[in-house]
Amino acid sequence: MSKRSYLNIGEYGIVGDTLSVALIGIDGSVDWLCLPRFDSASVFAAILDRRKGGHFRLWAERAEVGQQSYSGYTNILLTTFRTPRGIVEVTDFMPVRNAPGKGQELHRIVKCLQGRITLNIHCSPKPDYGRQTTRVEVKPGHYVFRSDAGDFELLTDVSLDVTGNEINGAIGLEKGDQQHFVFREFSTEFGGDLAEHCTAELKSAQEYWGKWADRCVYSGPWEEVIRRSALVLKMLVYSPTGSIVAAPTTSLPEEIGGERNWDYRFSWLRDAAMTLHTFASLGYKEEYKDYMGWIRRLCAECGLNLQVLFGIEGLRDMRESTLSHLEGYKRSRPVRIGNAAAIQFQLDVYGEVLDAAYHHVSRGGTLEQDTIHLLKELVGFIANNWARPDQGIWEMRDGMQHYLYSKLMCWVALDRGLHLKDTLNLPAKEISKLRKAKTVLETEIESKGWNKKKNSFTVHYGSWQLDASLLNFPLMGYLQPDDPRVLSMVRAIEEELRVGNLVKRYSLPDGLEGNEGAFLLCTCWLADCLVLLDDADGAAEIIDSLWRTASPLGLLAEEADIKTGRLLGNYPQALSHLGLINTILGFRAKFPDYF
């Protein structure tokens, strides 16, 4: 097989089963898969090292890359290869089991649509991030890859050649011919008919995703954007606990060749709360209920000093380490697993959780008694601790400051707690305490946070730099849209951080080498502020630009390269998709007759 080069990040589609996901490139290669969970060690990781990571590729002879699409509003991926002699389609999906240990599988169904083609097969799992070698056992109908990190198997009726610790083959297919491949953890012998098994599982997956997509209550402009983004977010939910991963990948770089490479396969309380708010806006209430149950369990174990992020099953030790044997995506090192941000103190997460609860109740939702108890304790914690410095939403690794976004979200926690005072059954004494804390906090924000020469709030007390997260001051209701400070702050941030229709997070030193791309969530926040300022044309232009930035499948990473527009960072990113959904919903509410 010829040497492969790295694909662009946006040249991958994903399939998932609400336990893990697989990234599949336009060249037909599975280049990322962790089993049995998002945060498990990888089985295929060629996206992080072409030679050592391992991959599973199906492709047509004389067709270098394919064209990808999803089958309607599902998470079933179609990759079509066209050759001079014929056309072949690969259907990729993962059956939704909703619990690990129930036979997780990646299905790959190949069908020749026209003419005659030669299909090439290469399967080379490299478990434990490429640190383990496998031994291949050949059995009728399947190939078992055994290793100290676990055993995996490929089910197929195709006869393949074993070369060392990988398998290869090539077969001819004519119009109407099908072949089936199932990669899975090895548990028990498979005794059924593989074609029947794959057909039944495909039908089940189509029904599952179709029914879930049909629950979306949104219709109107950018409906395709909304529904595809919602389906992405659902794939990022870890169904056994209700937690949500920020992204299903690690160490996809914010700068090609740079060091800004992080592991996002965990659940940030901030990201998850924002995602649940988005789900509720689209009519998905069960996801909120599951998430709050997860939060309650975490608080019962760790108390009110909430960690910023947790493992998807509640693990608190996110110790960070590097995989020095991997070269990284396009030689972007280091490759990290774990995330040291777990030990940071970030005050804003309390506001995000209270805000999600507030919006849930305002839509007619109810809160269970233990959730009410939890929220009362969280808002009380902020009343006593809002004056502390922290490390901020962007998880700075160069010390703590009084970040304005964190102060804003403390204000949000107090404000939402007061709005929920009847639901939370707050006594008069506690209400008075919250009101006093809110007033004192407002006075401090006004006196220490506003920079008259910049005509804006700044990143932290005493700073001259701006930060795109400050756009949330009007979005969270601290500033009213007609407050002249909103326009002046938006214009200042545009001048300093906007490049074309994209927005950078900040321009201050952050203790890391190099630079990052534009942050897509921040770009959404700018569009939201333009909506508040009645600039419908400006907001619509940004929405359209963001959709053009997405991959051909409508997937968004964390960032985009300012010069080329190519996607950067972990992929797909929950914050980017939920930000785009919320921006569209806000636009439609403000300008229902725009289209």
One-character DSSP codes across 541-583? HHHHHHHHHS-TTS---SEE-TTT--EESSSS-HHHHHHHHHH
Q: How confident is the model at residue 1 (pLDDT cuts 50, 70, 90)?
A: very low
Give the angle 121-125-129 at the CA atoms, nearest 5°: 145
Mapped onto helix, strand or coil, the DSSP state of residue 587 is helix
| Greatest C-alpha distance within the chain | 79
User: How would you classify the pairing of strands 166-174 and 161-163?
Assistant: antiparallel
CA 444 – CA 401 distance, rounded (Å): 14
Q: What is the pLDDT of residue 315?
A: 85
First to last CA, the chain: 51
Q: What is the mean pLDDT of residues 335-363?
A: 92
Average pLDDT of 58-81?
A: 95
For residue range 5-48, what is the model confidence (pLDDT) as tens digits? 999 999 999 999 999 999 999 999 999 999 999 999 999 999 99
Partners of 187 in the β-ladder:
none
Cβ within 8 Å of residue 478, ≥6 positions away: 408, 411, 412, 445
- Percent of the chain at pLDDT exceeding 70: 99
CATH number of 222-590: 1.50.10.10
Contact 376, 424 (CB under 8 A): yes
- Between CA 40 and CA 324 the distance in angstroms is 18
- pLDDT (tens digit per residue) in 189-207: 777 899 999 999 999 999 9
pLDDT digits (tens, 9 = 90+) for 83-138: 999 999 999 999 998 766 667 999 999 999 999 999 999 999 999 999 999 999 99
**pLDDT digit string (tens) for 218-254?**
999 999 999 999 999 999 999 998 899 999 999 999 9
Q: How far apart are CA 586 and CA 186, in angstroms?
A: 47
**pLDDT reported for residue 468:** 98
Please choose, from the candidates 587, 576, 584, the residue with its C-alpha nearest in 3D space to the C-alpha of residue 274.
576
Extract long-range pairs of 302-305: CB within 8 Å, 24+ residues apart.
304/377, 304/378, 304/381, 305/345
304 HSE (CA, 13 A, CB side): 14
CB 328 within 8 A of CB 49: yes
Of the options 2.70.98.40, 3.40.50.150, 3.30.70.360, 3.40.630.10, the CATH number for the domain spanning 13-188: 2.70.98.40
**pTM score:** 0.96
pLDDT band (50, 70, 90) for residue 156: very high
**Mean pLDDT, residues 270-282:** 86
Binned at pLDDT 50, 70 and 90, residue 360 comes out as confident
Tens of pLDDT, residue by residue over 406-434, are: 999 999 999 999 999 999 999 999 999 99
**Domain segments of the chain as ranges:** 13-188, 222-590
CA pair distance 301, 379, nearest whole angstrom: 18
More confident residue, 4 or 311: 311
3: its two tokens? 């040497």
pLDDT band (50, 70, 90) for residue 297? confident
Q: Is the pLDDT of residue 2 over 70?
A: no
Mean residue pLDDT of the chain comes to 94
Give the list of residues 6+ apart from residue 90 with CB closer than 8 angstroms, or none: 28, 58, 66, 78, 79, 80, 81, 108, 109, 110
- The predicted pLDDT at position 99 comes to 66
Integer Cα distance of 124 and 408 in angstroms: 50
